[in-house]
């Protein structure tokens, strides 16, 4: 416990400005010696101001996975799930994280995907106890959809470097938004379009880090909406079917076609397994559409 209080005392002195942190991608916050982040969060966040939050968010770009993932994101999650971050600071972080997610990628490629993952926690906090205005929730959905559609770095886990996982982290943000009853139909359509773009994108390798399952998650929750009817779902799944592009015309002749088959099959299978086992008829209606997608593949 003494170590925790010592760290808290050092935090303010050690915190770099956001500009400095973005230039170095190094975390300027000292971590607790005993790694008890739940206890640390209970002391860190009640004393936090905007600068303290900025210093922590800057750590999401640290090249060390123990700092970026094991400390910064985990501490952020503990703070929000423990309801220890004031709404004004969550709103401040929402703006900062959206800027990080939309900004130019850092040299190592960690900052945008971890900003998306941290925003998933913001979206969850708003779902549990709303603090965002309708306009802010709409802006978050739009920013998240733009991010997911635009992911081109498909690295998942890299030994010695840890996770990037842009597709999965973007999907996690989509999931938390999909669960929000305040999400408008227009925003739901934005999420659906973004997810469709990453089911089997032309430039992606074989998904091997659980991306199809993560993309399927928000789809299953969006299926519970009464304002997306069977016809709309049929059209959406049809958009995932093979088209006339070269990779699909001779899919077994190259890596692009084989990856498309692999990724589409994995996504459709994830939907089918969950939908067919669900007791919710709204979700179960997706099962035959997933089967149709699999049958349509070469």
Q: What percent of the chain has pLDDT over 90?
A: 86
d(CA 57, CA 85): 13
Confidence of residue 26 (pLDDT cuts 50, 70, 90): confident
The reported pLDDT for the residue numbered 101 is 97
Q: The tokens of 221 are what?
A: 């929750």
As a whole number, mean pLDDT of residues 273-291 equals 98
Residue 294 has pLDDT above 50, yes or no: yes
pLDDT digits (tens, 9 = 90+) for 29-46: 988 887 899 999 999 999
What mean pLDDT, rounded, does the chain reach?
91
Where are any strands of DSSP class E within the chain?
Answer: 157-158, 162-163
Residue pair 245/183 in contact by the 8 Å Cβ criterion: no
d(CA 122, CA 81): 9
Q: The tokens of 191 are what?
A: 């999420």
d(CA 239, CA 3): 55
Residue 5 has pLDDT above 80, yes or no: no
As a whole number, mean pLDDT of residues 207-235 equals 98
Residue 105 has pLDDT above 80, yes or no: no
Residue pair 120/169 in contact by the 8 Å Cβ criterion: yes
pLDDT digits (tens, 9 = 90+) for 87-96: 999 999 999 9
Prediction pTM value: 0.91
pLDDT digits (tens, 9 = 90+) for 168-198: 999 999 999 999 999 999 999 999 999 999 9
As a whole number, mean pLDDT of residues 76-97 equals 98
How many other CB atoms are there within 10 angstroms of residue 45's CB atom? 22
d(CA 122, CA 60): 15
Measured in whole angstroms, how far is the alpha carbon of residue 211 from the centre of its chain? 11
Transcribe 1-13 into DSSP letters.
Answer: -HHHHHHHHHHHH
Confidence of residue 24 (pLDDT cuts 50, 70, 90): low
Residue pair 57/96 in contact by the 8 Å Cβ criterion: yes
Q: The tokens of 67 are what?
A: 């700092």
Report the DSSP pairing between strands 162-163 and 157-158. Answer: antiparallel
The reported pLDDT for the residue numbered 287 is 98
The reported pLDDT for the residue numbered 251 is 96
Confidence of residue 61 (pLDDT cuts 50, 70, 90): very high
Residue 279 parent element (H or E): none
Sequence-distant contacts of 262-266: CB under 8 A, at least 24 apart: 262/206, 262/207, 263/199, 263/200, 263/204, 263/206, 263/207, 263/211, 263/212, 264/199, 264/200, 264/240, 264/293, 264/294, 264/297, 265/294, 265/297, 266/207, 266/212, 266/213
Confidence of residue 17 (pLDDT cuts 50, 70, 90): very low
Residue 20 has pLDDT above 90, yes or no: no
Transcribe 120-183 into DSSP letters.
Answer: HHHHHHHHHS--S-HHHHHHHHHHHHHHHHH------EETTTEE--HHHHHHHHHHHHHT-TT-
Of 61, 70, 5, 63, which Cα lies nearest the Cα of 32?
Answer: 5
pLDDT digits (tens, 9 = 90+) for 117-150: 999 999 999 999 999 999 999 999 999 999 999 9
Task: Report the alpha-carbon angle 182-112-166, nearest 5.
Answer: 80
Confidence of residue 107 (pLDDT cuts 50, 70, 90): confident
Confidence of residue 269 (pLDDT cuts 50, 70, 90): very high
């Amino acid at each position: 416990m003494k170590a925790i209080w010592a760290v808290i005392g050092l935090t303010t002195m050690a915190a770099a400005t956001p500009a400095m942190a973005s230039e170095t991608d190094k975390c300027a916050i000292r971590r607790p010696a005993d790694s008890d982040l739940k206890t640390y969060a209970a002391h860190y966040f009640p004393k936090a101001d905007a600068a303290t939050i900025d210093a922590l968010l800057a750590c999401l770009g640290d090249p060390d996975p123990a700092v970026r993932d094991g400390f910064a994101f985990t501490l952020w999650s503990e703070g929000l799930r423990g309801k220890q971050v004031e709404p004004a600071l969550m709103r401040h972080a929402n703006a900062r994280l959206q800027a990080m997610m939309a900004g130019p990628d850092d040299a190592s490629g960690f900052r945008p995907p971890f900003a998306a993952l941290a925003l998933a926690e913001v979206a969850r906090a708003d779902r549990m106890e709303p603090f965002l205005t309708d306009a802010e929730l709409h802006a978050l959905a739009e920013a998240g959809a733009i991010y997911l559609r635009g992911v081109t770095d498909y690295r998942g886990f890299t030994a010695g470097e840890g996770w990037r996982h842009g597709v999965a982290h973007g999907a996690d943000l989509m999931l938390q938004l999909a669960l929000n009853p305040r999400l408008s139909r227009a925003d739901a359509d934005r999420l659906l379009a973004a997810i469709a773009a990453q089911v089997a994108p032309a430039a992606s390798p074989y998904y091997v880090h659980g991306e199809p399952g993560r993309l399927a998650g928000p789809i299953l929750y969006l299926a519970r909406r009464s304002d997306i009817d069977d016809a709309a779902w049929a059209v959406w799944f049809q958009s995932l079917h093979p088209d006339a592009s070269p990779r699909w015309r001779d899919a077994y002749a190259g890596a692009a076609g084989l990856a498309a088959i692999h990724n589409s099959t994995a996504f459709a299978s994830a939907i089918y397994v969950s939908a067919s086992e669900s007791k919710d008829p709204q979700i179960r209606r997706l099962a035959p559409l997933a089967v149709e997608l699999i049958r349509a593949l070469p």
